[in-house]
Amino acid sequence: MSEAKPQVILRMGSHSEKEYIQKTLKFFDGVMVGANLLQISPGATASLLFKLHGETRRPYYIDPMTYAFGSYFDPEVSQVRDDLDWIKSLQKVPGRKGVREKRFKGSYRKLADEFGPPFSTCLDRGVAINQRDFSDDLIYSACESVLSFQAERLREVFREDPQTESFADALPRPAALFAPYFYIEPNRSQEWITLNNRLARAAMKQARFETPIHVVVCAHLEVLTNRKLASPVIENLQACKPDGVWLWFSRLDERFQEPDELLALRWWVEQLASSTRVFNMHGGFYSLALSKYGMVGTAHGVGYGEQKDVIPVIGQSTPTVQYYVRALHAKYSVAQIQRSFSRLGIKTASDFYGKICDCPICKGVIGNDLDQFSQFGEIHYSTPKSKRAAQTPAAAKRCRYHFLLKRIEERDYVGASTLDTILNDLKSSAATWAPTAMLGTSIEHLLVWANALS
């Protein structure tokens, strides 16, 4: 068992999250942005990464997002979809007033044009990439352009603007370059496993990049648990020898996953950790604890984002940012937590600080009045026409900052604790919170994690 010092990489989903990154990155281990974000706002993204590096010296990563050009299995219609609908949006048609058409989002169109064939050609034909699109010649050039984008794009952006041109060479390169990758969907697992392996090998052969090459395993949950599918992927990776492997099992939610799935994640880490650096692309506390089995780090967003579906759900209302309970390593609604106060013996603000959290955000919000805890869940009608009350931006902000502070604490705690201590603490938290009528049944993950880790 090769233990690792756990790292947390913050993923920036949009520029609206910039403030969180700027204020907290120095306490984390790196930042990741999607290539689509870089393409839609090149100047702002490049300037931000330059500034962040100057202020914090933290590394950055660019996720090439190539999976977005592949097909996926839609559980709602139980079939493989290759219409690329998930990277389209309704857009105004120039010259035709009031007419809107579903077209490719500008960020992905620009990204495909930058990557070249087969990414650009798949958008031209309107059908997702498949394995046959990568001939042996094309696979090499496609890898080169995807890697080159990550290595050079920031400098190019700076060179395009006379005001930033002179700083271009001062821009750091990413900490690692990701080989192009596609989602291993359950219907054509073998084909996607083969293609991803070819892409990883082609990327590793690119000699001109001095930056470490990492590989992403982006897969359906079946690949996580089914050894017949998992073993060839692991063998391919062991033979390919990338400098790092990022695991991303779509919809893998540590808190709600079955024990065998969590055990399977540990098995993946154990298989790979001796030959490469293993990360979780979207993970939480369980992934941090897997550092005891060799997982180097995990990435997630500023408002949690500890799990991600390959295909984002479109058209949902903005989710409430819930309050993160450090002892339970999970988020709950403000009302759920308040309803648990009596069983936990929390009657005053100082009880709260002693038993739940005494971070500066909580102290600033609650002060001496425990009722002020409700500010973390404050709701309002955002417009006079709103039918449903939603969390205020200020409340969401409080929850996010509190979560980020707790995550730093958790990372340091895992790094400084033995596995036995972590297991005992998980069990002890479960015992403390079990008598609360409100959360007693929502803390089962603690014991599931403890079993999976022991």
Partner 1 sequence: MPFYEYRIDLYGFCDNRDSTVAIELKLKNWRRAFVQALLYQLCADLVYIAMPKRAALKVDQSLLACEGIGLLSISDSGVCSCVLSARVHGQVRQPYKLSQINYLKGTTCE
Which residues lie near partner 1 (CB under 8 A)? 320, 333-336, 338-339, 342, 371, 374, 377, 379, 388-389, 391, 437-438
Whether 114 and 149 have beta carbons less than 8 Å apart is answered as yes
Q: How far is residue 233 from each of residues 211, 216, 248, 287, measured CA to CA in Å?
A: 23, 11, 13, 20
Shortest Å distance, C-beta 410 to partner 1: 25
Closest CB to partner 1 among 239 and 437? 437
As beta bridge partners, residue 8 has 298
Please identify, using beta-carbon distances, which residue of 335 and 431 lies nearer to partner 1: 335
185 backbone dihedrals φ, ψ, rounded to 5°: -85, 150
Structure tokens at 380: 């309002």
- State the nearest-atom distance from the C-beta of 375 to partner 1, in Å: 11
Strand 88-92, strand 79-81: pairing: unpaired
Closest to partner 1 by CB, 170 vs 389, is: 389
- Tokens for 400, please give them: 């996010």
Q: Least CB distance from residue 414 to partner 1, whole Å?
A: 31
Minimum distance from CB of 374 to partner 1 (Å)? 7
Cβ proximity to partner 1, 41 vs 374, nearer residue: 374
Q: How far is the CB of 318 from partner 1 (least distance, A)?
A: 11
Beta 100-104 vs 177-178: how paired, if at all? unpaired
Work out how close the CB of 251 gets to partner 1 at its nearest, in angstroms, rounded to a whole number.
Answer: 22
Phi, psi torsion values for 214, nearest 5 degrees: -115, 155
Q: Which residue has the tokens 């403890």?
A: 450
User: Could you tell me the smallest distance in angstroms from the CB atom of residue 432 to partner 1?
Assistant: 18
295 neighbors 273 (Cβ within 8 angstroms): yes
CA atoms of 62 and 11, how far apart (whole Å) = 10
The residue (of 365 and 379) whose beta carbon lies closer to partner 1 is 379
Compare residues 263 and 379 and give the one whose CB is closer to partner 1. Answer: 379
Q: Quick check: 377 and 391 in contact, CB under 8 A?
A: yes
Nearer Cβ to partner 1, position 226 or 374?
Answer: 374
Whether the Cβ atoms of residue 36 and residue 312 lie closer than 8 Å to each other: no
- Angstrom distance (rounded) from CA 71 to CA 82: 5
